[in-house]
Each structure stands twice: as C-alpha cells, then as structure tokens.
Structure 1
Amino acid sequence: MIDPKLRQRLTGVFTALVTPFRSGAVDKPALERLIAAQLAAGVAGLVPVGTTGEAATLSDDEAEDVIRTTVKAAAGRAFVMAGAGSNATRLAVAKAERAQAAGADGLLLVTPYYNKPSQDGLFDHFSAIAKAVSLPIMLYSVPGRTAVEIAPATAARLAAAHSSIVGIKEAGGKTERVTELRQALGRDFVIHSGDDGLTLPFLALGADGVTSVASNLLPAEVVALCRAWFAGDPREARRIHEALFDVVGHLFIESNPVPVKTALARTGLIGAELRAPLAALRPENLQALEASLRSFESRANI
C-alpha cells in the first residue's frame, strides 16, 4: 500500500518543465524564473529532464545540473519527479542513480524507445532500476514516442514486486486506460494524465492529476481546473477545460516542446531556443498558435 502522505504529494498538477537554452547551453536563470512562476501558481510537482525538457539532447552532466537546479529552486515546495529514462537498461540505472544523488524526490521512467521490448522486457527493465535506487517511481507509458505500451497487467506485476513503483503517467491518448489501470492496480496506485486535453476526462474516471505541458505557460489555469474538480465542482472544472481547449490543442500543433517554448518566449520568461533536430515552428503554425493565444488572452477569466 502506498503511503497516504506520498500519494497526496503526487496528486494534482505536475509541470513537465521545458529546458531553456541560451547560445547552446542550459539557461539556468531562465529555468529558475520558470520554476518560480510554477511555484507561485501552486503546482504540486516539477518534472525536469523529461520529454518536454528535451532530455534526449541533454548530456548526463547537463541533466544532472538541471535536476539539481530544480531541486534547489523548489526548496521543498513542490515534489521533484526527475526524468531518468533510457532505452538501455544499464544507462537508465545510471541516470536514476544520478538523479537520486542530485536530490530528486522521485523518478519518472519512460518505456524504452526504439528497441520495442516485450512486456517481460519492460518488467525486467523497470525492476532493475527499482532495485538500484530507493526513490518513488512513476512509470511513463507514451507509445506514440516509444512504440510500446505498458500493459495494465505489467504495471500491476511491477507494483506488486516493487513497493517503490507507485504510479504511472499515461500518455497513450485513450481514456479507457484509466479504468483498465484502476481495475488492475486498485485505488491506491497513482494515475496521471499525460495529455493536457484529456486531463478532465481522466480526473472524471479516477485519475489523480496531470503531468502537464500546458502548465509551463498557464500554470494557474491548469491548477484551477484540478482544484475545482477535487473540490467537487465539476461545472467549474468543465468551464476551465473548455476555456483552455483551443490553446491546449495549439500547444501540440507540432512536436512538443516546440510550440510551448515558442509561446513561453512570447511572454519573455524564457527564450525559444531548441536543440537540433527540433526546429522552429513553421510560419503557418506560428500564426495559428499566436492567434489562439491572442484569442485566449482576450476572453480568459479563470
């Protein structure tokens, strides 16, 4: 059984942080500004070095530095769930050990990508990491990027074998997965939506929160949605969901995190710099994103 205090800490909005860059290097002052905005809005957690943080293009030293910076800036005010995934088990173990040494509160572990392991391979992979570290672990199923999905039975097998495996970020775009996971894992296991557009449907089906891309840009609004739901006000939660719907869709008009970094740069909080092979938004998509943001700003009252 998951510690109730830990479960509470894993409930709500976790921001999948972008990694700001400046002249090719991590822009730590910009990262600190971004984190300060998240904390001011009341997010429950911060997720550095994930997909949104362009983890695939960070060196190990850069990743560790980003995690340390996040831990220091959070100062215990939010749960730091560091990304530590790899498609090579021995590298994932090493990343997890470094994240633990950097002070992370927990780990987000994506399914191995490209090599398409079986469910037994997934069990062995995540088990090796769980045995190597003592931190709470949230699994991350995102088949659109990795080509493999964590079966509910596999998640249940992992949770039964390792008490540190306490949750899953579900980013497969299917609402039925919430019920499938609940039936396989029970009420205690933590489920996060990994798709901003599905946050409210996931909550309605029994999820515990969202690991959000949109909250980089609109943390107060995403927090307000979740708080309304948990306060027993589904009408208000639906109102916020509908207000956010168009802009959230446009934050995924091209591969994440290109649109959200572009939108953040528009605010002046960070720069829009990306790492290759990611490239700037195509002009027509930039126009569509900017139009969506202007429309949201003109009518938002959240």
Structure 2
Amino acid sequence: MQKFVGTGVALITPFNEDKSIDFDGLERLVNYQIDNGINYLVVLGTTGEPATLSKEEKEAVKKKIIEVNNGRLPLVLGIGGNNTAAVVNEIQTTDLTNFDAILSVSPYYNKPTQEGIYQHFKAVAAATDKSIIVYNVPGRTSSNMAPETIVRLANDCNNIIAVKEAAGDMVQAMKIIQQKPKDFLVISGDDMVTLPMVLAGGAGVISVIGEGLPKEFSTMVQLGLEGKNEEAYKIHYQVADSIDMIFAEGNPAGIKSMLQTLEICSDEVRLPLVKASEKLQKEIANFVQNL
C-alpha cells in the first residue's frame, strides 16, 4: 500500500456565496494539490462537510474530483457512520471503481465498546474487497479505538490496511506502531504531531493544513520518511502556528479562510458551521503572506 505513504489531504467542499457547490473552486483546489506534491486525495471526509450535503451533491462532488484528477493521484472515499447496516449498504451500493480505498470513521455518538467497534469494522471489511483505512478520532466520536482493537482488526481483516490515528496521543500511536503487522500503515490524522509520528515509524498523514500548504507539508513529511529530522523539523516549526490557527474556530472554517487568502475558493461554510472570525481571518492572511 505504498500509494498511501506520504501526504494525503482531506478535501474541503468549496461553496459559492449562495451556499451552492463551487465546482470551479473545486477544480482549482484539486489541481493545487496535484501541482504541489500531495500523494493522494481524500474525498468527502469530515473536512468536506458531507453531513450538510445531499446525496445528489455528494455524487456531483465525487464526479468532479474524479474528472479533474483524471487518474493522476489515488483517491480515498469517506464512507462511515454509526449505523453499521447503513454503512455496509452504502459501501455495497456505491460505485467504487475510481477509488483506491475507503476511509471509515469509528462509530460516533453511540459510544460502542471495543468489541462493538471491532464487530462494526469487521462487518464493514466483509462488505467490500476495497482497501479500508479505519479512522480513530475520539474528539469527534466520543470513543477511542484502543491500540489492541486496531491491531486485532489489522490481523483479522486483510483489507483493513491502515488507521488514520487522530487521538492526539503519541504514546497510543507508538503502541500501534510497535504492535501492528509489518505492512499495516499508521497514518497521522493530527497535523501537529504528524512529524513525530512519522519519525516513530508512521506512514505519513491525512492532513488539513496540507491542503493550504501542500508543498511545505508534503516536503516535511517526505523528509521525515527519509530520516532527515533536522530539515523536517525546520519546516514543522515554520508551519506550526498556522496549524493552531486553522483549528482555532473549527474545521473547515479555518482552512477555508486560508484557501480564500490563496484565491482558490471562498471561505463559505454551511450551518451549523460559521466562517472564521474577522480577527482569525486576518491572522491567517498575515501568516500566508509572510510565509
């Protein structure tokens, strides 16, 4: 699964002022990633605001990204939820021809036990031959996937090939790296700890800041993978403040503000999310201009 080693980005869904999808902005966004060294694209992850998109809009977003990408980078599709039967049905009824893997979040709100999480992903894995990246993000789901559960899934399900680990816990990440099967990938889902995770044996990142700073962030990750610690940390500390900024008032409001500064798309989001405050917008703009 070398195609998922390096830097992936969780694509936003650009909106026009009337909140309709901005397909021209989406085209500019995809090309910006490809032109600046990103290794793969994640479609309709949390950053893409899929909870506020209709089924028809999701299909239109997928179609546009597939068309613009034109086979240049691997594509990962977000399909997850807290109703196992519904997730299985969506996987089985979705045309996955143009996608290399599925990113599936651990069930949220229900707060299942570790056995419940295991059985959920076992059912998801059995629903498809596609590679699956499980996504652990306790800050959004209210439950943590224990290292033992992740390693158990990695050993028991051949097509569960990676975890996007976003617990923000380096000790947990290192436990997974220590115990995982040889070819299983531990991918950072937390931009701030991406470099330490890579240097500890991680495979890279599925990033948000990488969408705004693709050249810098993908270079940092590549240097980390090559063991060039000093050069990699130099870039890390150059971009670190911007990571705090883009998450200060929620995702994707912050990264959309950065992308507006870069003239790729507007900073429009859909309720219940709101735009970044004027103060934060200025801070982000100043950072981009100074970088």
User: For the superposition of Structure 1 and Structure 2, which TM-score range results when normalised by the shorter chain?
Assistant: over 0.9
* Contiguous gaps of at least 5 residues in structure 2: none
Residue of structure 2 in register with 1:248 after alignment: 243
Cα distance in 1 for residues equivalent to 2:264 and 2:13: 12
Please give the per-residue CA displacement for 1:138-190, whole angstroms capped at 9, x wherever unaligned.
00000001101111111122122210000000111111122111233133210
Q: Which amino acid aligns with 1:53?
A: G
Residue of structure 2 in register with 1:44 after alignment: 39
Quote how far apart the aligned CAs of 1:99 are. 4.5
What is the TM-score normalised by the length of structure 1?
Answer: 0.91
Residues 85, 277 of structure 1: alpha-carbon distance in 2 compared, 3 angstrom cutoff: same
Cα distance in 2 for residues equivalent to 1:144 and 1:267: 29
Quote how far apart the aligned CAs of 1:129 are. 1.5
Matched, 1:70 2:65: yes
CA contact (8 A) 1:64 1:98 kept: no
Q: Which amino acid aligns with 2:59?
A: E
Cα distance in 1 for residues equivalent to 2:135 and 2:19: 28
Matched, 1:59 2:54: yes
Which range moves more in the overlay, 281-290 or 123-132?
Answer: 281-290
Quote how far apart the aligned CAs of 1:260 are. 0.5
Residue of structure 2 in register with 1:110 after alignment: 105
Quote how far apart the aligned CAs of 1:65 are. 2.6
Matched, 1:20 2:14: yes
Cα distance in 1 for residues equivalent to 2:274 and 2:213: 23
Residue of structure 1 in register with 2:258 after alignment: 263
Cα distance in 2 for residues equivalent to 1:244 and 1:185: 30
Residues 243, 77 of structure 1: alpha-carbon distance in 2 compared, 3 angstrom cutoff: same
Q: Which amino acid aligns with 1:128?
A: A
Pick from 209, 217, 225 the counterpart of residue 212 of structure 2.
217
Residues 43, 188 of structure 1: alpha-carbon distance in 2 compared, 3 angstrom cutoff: same
Matched, 1:93 2:74: no
| Partner SS, residue 272 of structure 1 | coil
* Contiguous gaps of at least 5 residues in structure 1: 1-6
Aligned pairs for 1:199-214 (under 5 A) are 199-214=194-209
| Partner SS, residue 247 of structure 2 | coil
Matched, 1:10 2:4: yes
Please give the per-residue CA displacement for 1:182-208, whole angstroms capped at 9, x wherever unaligned.
233133210111111111111111100
What is the TM-score normalised by the length of structure 2?
Answer: 0.94
CA contact (8 A) 1:60 1:95 kept: no
Q: Which amino acid aligns with 1:43?
A: I
Pick from 225, 233, 257 the counterpart of residue 230 of structure 1.
225
Pick from 71, 80, 83 the counterpart of residue 78 of structure 2.
83
Matched, 1:159 2:154: yes
Cα distance in 1 for residues equivalent to 2:110 and 2:215: 38
CA contact (8 A) 2:155 2:181 kept: no
Cα distance in 1 for residues equivalent to 2:94 and 2:286: 39
Residues 162, 100 of structure 1: alpha-carbon distance in 2 compared, 3 angstrom cutoff: farther
Quote how far apart the aligned CAs of 1:269 are. 0.6
Residue of structure 2 in register with 1:279 after alignment: 274
Please give the per-residue CA displacement for 1:84-107, whole angstroms capped at 9, x wherever unaligned.
111111221233235543621110
CA-atom RMSD in angstroms: 1.6
Quote how far apart the aligned CAs of 1:230 are. 2.4
CA contact (8 A) 1:111 1:146 kept: yes
Q: Which amino acid aligns with 1:34?
A: L
Matched, 1:174 2:164: no
Cα distance in 1 for residues equivalent to 2:119 and 2:59: 25
Using the aligned pairs only, state the percent identity: 36
Quote how far apart the aligned CAs of 1:25 are. 2.2
Cα distance in 2 for residues equivalent to 1:64 and 1:159: 30
Residue of structure 1 in register with 2:114 after alignment: 119
Cα distance in 2 for residues equivalent to 1:150 and 1:85: 15
Which range moves more in the overlay, 280-289 or 210-219?
Answer: 280-289
How many equivalent residue pairs? 290
Cα distance in 2 for residues equivalent to 1:292 and 1:94: 44
Residues 90, 160 of structure 1: alpha-carbon distance in 2 compared, 3 angstrom cutoff: same
Residues 181, 99 of structure 1: alpha-carbon distance in 2 compared, 3 angstrom cutoff: farther
